[in-house]
Amino acid sequence: MLKKSPLAPKVFPSLPNIKGVRLATASCDIKTSKRDDVLLVNLDPGSTAAGVFTKSKLAAESVHWSKGVLKRGNPRAIIVNSGNANAFTGDSGKKSVRDLASSTSKVVGCHPKQVFVAQTGVIGEEFLAKKVTEKLPNIIKNMNSDWKSAAKAICTTDTFIKGVGTKVKVNNKSVLINGIAKGSGMIAPNMATMLAFIFTDAAIPSTILQSLLSEVNELTFNSITVDSDTSTNDLVLLCASGRANNLVKKSRAVSQFDSFQDGLHSVMQDLSHQIVKDGEGATKFVEVNVSGAKNYTIAKGFAFSVANSPLVKTAIFGEDANWGRLVMALGKCGQELNAKKITISIGGVEVAKNGTAVFDYNERAVSKHMKGQNIILEISIGEDAGGATVWTCDLTSGYIAINADYRT
Amino acid sequence: MLKKSPLAPKVFPSLPNIKGVRLATASCDIKTSKRDDVLLVNLDPGSTAAGVFTKSKLAAESVHWSKGVLKRGNPRAIIVNSGNANAFTGDSGKKSVRDLASSTSKVVGCHPKQVFVAQTGVIGEEFLAKKVTEKLPNIIKNMNSDWKSAAKAICTTDTFIKGVGTKVKVNNKSVLINGIAKGSGMIAPNMATMLAFIFTDAAIPSTILQSLLSEVNELTFNSITVDSDTSTNDLVLLCASGRANNLVKKSRAVSQFDSFQDGLHSVMQDLSHQIVKDGEGATKFVEVNVSGAKNYTIAKGFAFSVANSPLVKTAIFGEDANWGRLVMALGKCGQELNAKKITISIGGVEVAKNGTAVFDYNERAVSKHMKGQNIILEISIGEDAGGATVWTCDLTSGYIAINADYRT
């Protein structure tokens, strides 16, 4: 791994076993022979799943395959490899995904279409499924609940291993949620990709599970950006083994899962923030909050325009409270704006208001805030109720160094 | 000025006097007192003009003012300052633009609404018009045809002075076209801005002039990007003094200006390329050519998605023919794509075809091309007739250094 990000959490959390979910990792020499690069997850019969996928129009074959598995239902396994994205690899890439699923289904004892496939690494390089399939009979013999090894096996250019867990009550039963993720950006630094896998022992019907995931995903993984580049392989899967026996048979009410959704939100927000904190070359974690817009979508558009602006991000790296660049980023969005209604705060200090600078703002407080690791930009654009928060990191010389050297 | 870009032209061209167009520059201490930072252009009565302006929804007051001048017609002067963009400066900013125009109109002898105002520099800082207006009576006494000084006075973070000229025949009369520009990106590096001023002695009715400018602008200044950040102050003005006496009175046919439009295209393409070649930190000039799309707009969307991708641009800086990143940038556009119809060439060598890599491509030739200063990326996405070309530069550690340090 590269030098650890200065924004990395101190330790990987201790994650409990989740009944109905078994893990195993192995080294299959996909890119190098030095590390585990394959993760197999085995799910109990009766598990449900939900998923969200990259919107790339050149999505990798594994993405198309996994969408089919989700549609069919009754998932039994997930096979993940790092080191090769198997994207833009034509018919041979398609065949290798089928081979992976088919071989996994044999060792697990299910139909190939019950096996999710997820892949991450360089685009356009041929993927040899055989490297993985020939080791599967051994891998299945070593199932465990070592979440840290699982989280490590899916990493590519990550500088730290990403995981988090929580416990909530659903219908008075304790329910666990564990999540692991990889990526130095949801938005595809290095054409490696963002993957996240979340597991729970809760029993949740798949249609409800999907709506919970989609809703929370919009506020978490779909609210982060490192560099605005969308991957061909992004995928978030949420699998529920049902072993917590929390279902009250007579009720199909979604509201019984409110606390689950809260827990899911905290797990997914934490994982998505970990990805931003591992954004390539990142030295600062940045929250962009836009309020007063007509609706959530418009607010999020403005927030992302700020969070994706190279000029805003380099100013933050330079610890420069250059709010004129925020004005630029708002203005280029295409949505109507009234300058006189715009207020901009940095670290809680108003620096611009009513369409002009606050000439006597506390420069010392703002300068101190800019030198910190957590930067908060708050922008109000009017009196309407629409608001959104997105997260990003700064754009640094480290980003250039990492990405100019990637394949060589 | 910063260290000159390695992509800069060898010399500033020798530009001829254009009848009916007079220039003067002066130092007005707007940001520093070390250099000329104001340009006054005086146009003969009867001149016509055309203009295109930033689409920012927080456009600077000078942009709104100049749109009004264009609408009124009969322009007589342009007053330009560098060092302060006078954007997001509220009512005082609005008043200072009126003061500039009014004082200029007095020394020139016209109505204030016949005076274009253009400004460039930092956003959100108060602009004191008096610094300029009190010097105008002296400036008007020193009118000349020193195009190099004019081009220099409008620069901010530019590392070289930008100008170009050409000569064409219109109705058998010789017609001159001179252009000057500033900017290290059309797309607003440093929140300084892109400005371009083009002058001709041709006689061209203003409605025709506007349609010629808009058409060529789409293929030149609207086809370049440095960092995807759109400025609040961008503006291109084309002024025609009419002194070449090229009008055939009985004809209003646009076709008589075909050769003028060709000349205009060569001037604007050259100026726009000069801006890309001065893109902050640039070490390579990149042409992205997309063909086979349904129409020009779709092709241009794909081309800009490639040209704005930080991962593509850092790979080019790293001299890495990582075409997987081109696949990623195409895929994230949102437009439908058929992988099997995509062909990608780098420096004329096919590296991907029919949805997969060309495994035996000439790596040596591609590697040599990547080490050069001019990079050509050609992407065909199908058999339709829509194509577009855009130009950009690489994303380098120099860009980060310049923009992390700008205000300090």
Residue A90: closest CA among B336, B338, B384, B320? B338
Give me the residues of A, 25-84, that contact B with CB < 8 A.
Answer: 55-59
Instruction: Please list, residue by residue across B228-263, b when 16 or more beta carbons sit within 10 angstroms of its beta carbon and e when fewer do.
Output: bbbbbbbbbbbbbbbbbebbeeeeeeeebbeebbeb
- Binary contact (B123, A400; C-beta < 8 A): no
pLDDT of residue A261 exceeding 80: yes
Same domain (yes/no): A256, A297: no
CB count in 10 Å sphere of residue B32:
9
pLDDT value at residue A115: 97
- Binary contact (B400, A399; C-beta < 8 A): yes
Same domain (yes/no): A92, A240: yes
Residue at A7 is within a domain: no
Which of B57, B333, B356 lies closest to A333 in CB terms?
Answer: B57
Same domain (yes/no): B359, B227: no
Residue at A11 is within a domain: no
Which of A57, A93, A404 lies closest to B314 in CB terms?
Answer: A404
* Cβ of residue B87 closer than 8 Å to a chain A Cβ: yes
Could you tell me the pLDDT band of residue A191, with boundaries at 50, 70 and 90?
very low
The mean-pLDDT minimum among A81-90, A211-220, B340-349 falls in A211-220
Residue at B15 is within a domain: no
CA distance A316 to B394: 21
Same domain (yes/no): A352, A395: yes
* Cβ of residue B89 closer than 8 Å to a chain A Cβ: yes
CA distance B386 to B406: 40
Domain of B46, CATH number, reads 3.60.70.12
Mutate to test the interface with B, among A88, A283, A312 (most CBs of B within 10 A): A88
pLDDT of residue A293 exceeding 60: yes
pLDDT value at residue B376: 97
Give me the residues of A, 377-396, that contact B with CB < 8 A.
Answer: 395-396
* Cβ of residue A223 closer than 8 Å to a chain B Cβ: no
Can you tell me the mean pLDDT for A214-236?
A: 77
Could you tell me the pLDDT band of residue A188, with boundaries at 50, 70 and 90?
very low
Same domain (yes/no): B218, B99: yes
Instruction: Residue A330: list chain B partners with CB under 8 A.
Output: 57-58
Domain boundary among B226, B255, B277: B277
Same domain (yes/no): B194, B227: yes
pLDDT value at residue A189: 34
- Which bin fits B340, alpha (ψ -120 to 50), beta or left (φ > 0)? alpha
- Binary contact (A88, B227; C-beta < 8 A): no
Could you tell me the pLDDT band of residue A105, with boundaries at 50, 70 and 90?
very high
Could you tell me the pLDDT band of residue A232, with boundaries at 50, 70 and 90?
confident
Which of B122, B124, B404 lies closest to A317 in CB terms?
Answer: B404
The residue with tokens 């009126």 is B98
Range of the domain at A363: 285-404
pLDDT value at residue A72: 94
Can you tell me the mean pLDDT for B135-146?
A: 96
Same domain (yes/no): A32, A181: yes
Query: Can you give the length of chain A in residues?
Result: 408
Same domain (yes/no): B327, B231: no
Instruction: Residue A325: list chain B partners with CB under 8 A.
Output: 123, 191, 229
Could you tell me the pLDDT band of residue B349, with boundaries at 50, 70 and 90?
very high
Q: What is the pLDDT of residues A126-140, one digit of tens each?
A: 999 999 999 999 999
Beta carbons of A176 and A244 less than 8 angstroms apart: yes
Q: What is the secondary structure of B341-357 as a DSSP string?
A: G-EEEETTEEEEETTEE
Q: Which of B104, B133, B193, B225 is catalytic?
A: B193
Beta carbons of A153 and A38 less than 8 angstroms apart: yes
Domain of A377, CATH number, reads 3.10.20.340
Pick the residue with more confidence: A237 or A62?
A62
* Cβ of residue B184 closer than 8 Å to a chain A Cβ: no
Can you tell me the mean pLDDT for B230-254?
A: 82
pLDDT of residue B230 exceeding 90: no
Q: What is the pLDDT of residues A304-325, one digit of tens each?
A: 989 988 889 999 999 999 898 8
Residue at A131 is within a domain: yes
CB count in 10 Å sphere of residue A252:
11
Residue at A1 is within a domain: no
pLDDT value at residue A34: 81
* Cβ of residue A193 closer than 8 Å to a chain B Cβ: no
Domain boundary among B277, B297, B313: B277
Which of B59, B228, B318 lies closest to A404 in CB terms?
Answer: B318
pLDDT value at residue B408: 44
Mutate to test the interface with B, among A31, A53, A58, A226 (most CBs of B within 10 A): A58
The shortest C-alpha distance from A380 to chain B (Å) reads: 15
pLDDT of residue A187 exceeding 70: no
Which of B189, B328, B404 lies closest to A188 in CB terms?
Answer: B328
Q: Which of A48, A89, A193, A230 is catalytic?
A: A193
Residue at B9 is within a domain: no
Domain boundary among A277, A300, A335: A277
Same domain (yes/no): B172, B49: yes
pLDDT value at residue A44: 94
pLDDT value at residue A1: 57
Q: How far out from the chain centre does Cα B30 lie?
A: 23
pLDDT of residue B94 exceeding 80: yes
ipTM of the complex: 0.81
- Domains in chain A, number: 2
Residue at B67 is within a domain: yes
Residue B135: closest CA among B37, B48, B207? B37
Residue at B13 is within a domain: no
pLDDT value at residue B406: 52
Could you tell me the pLDDT band of residue B249, with boundaries at 50, 70 and 90?
confident
Mutate to test the interface with B, among A89, A332, A333, A359 (most CBs of B within 10 A): A332
Same domain (yes/no): A170, A250: yes
* Cβ of residue B332 closer than 8 Å to a chain A Cβ: yes
Q: What is the pLDDT of residues B293-347, one digit of tens each?
A: 999 999 999 999 899 888 899 999 999 998 988 988 898 888 889 989 999 999 9
pLDDT value at residue B190: 34
- Binary contact (A318, B404; C-beta < 8 A): yes
Same domain (yes/no): B217, B315: no
Could you tell me the pLDDT band of residue B191, with boundaries at 50, 70 and 90?
very low
Q: What is the pLDDT of residues B255-273, one digit of tens each?
A: 888 999 999 998 888 888 8
pLDDT of residue B188 exceeding 70: no
pLDDT value at residue A221: 80
- Binary contact (B327, A352; C-beta < 8 A): no
Instruction: Residue A63: list chain B partners with CB under 8 A.
Output: none
- Cβ contacts below 8 Å, chain A against chain B, sum to 233
pLDDT of residue A290 exceeding 60: yes
Is B104 designated active site? no
- Binary contact (A400, B405; C-beta < 8 A): no
pLDDT value at residue A124: 84
The mean-pLDDT minimum among A28-32, A266-270, B106-110, B217-221 falls in B217-221
The mean-pLDDT minimum among A248-252, B36-40, B77-81, B268-272 falls in A248-252
pLDDT value at residue B285: 94
Non-local (6+) Cβ contacts of A185 within 8 A are A194, A224, A225, A226, A227, A229, A275, A276, A279, A280
Mutate to test the interface with A, among B92, B122, B123 (most CBs of A within 10 A): B123
* Cβ of residue A128 closer than 8 Å to a chain B Cβ: no
First and final C-alpha spacing in chain B: 16
Can you tell me the mean pLDDT for A212-234?
A: 78
Residue A337: closest CA among A324, A355, A350, A322? A355
Per residue, what are the HEC states of A54-97?
CCCCCCCHHHHHHHHHHHHCCCCEEEEEECECCCCCHHHHHHHH
Average pLDDT, chain A: 88
Pick the residue with more confidence: A242 or B232?
A242
Non-local (6+) Cβ contacts of B61 within 8 A are B86, B87, B89, B93, B94, B96, B97
Pick the residue with more confidence: B236 or A98?
A98
pLDDT of residue A407 exceeding 60: no
Same domain (yes/no): B269, B311: no
Q: What is the pLDDT of residues A352-398, one digit of tens each?
A: 998 898 989 999 999 999 999 999 999 999 999 999 999 999 999 88
pLDDT of residue B193 exceeding 60: no
| Nearest-by-CA chain A residue for B352 | A124
Beta carbons of B243 and B201 less than 8 angstroms apart: yes
pLDDT value at residue B1: 57
* Cβ of residue B367 closer than 8 Å to a chain A Cβ: no
| Nearest-by-CA chain B residue for A231 | B328
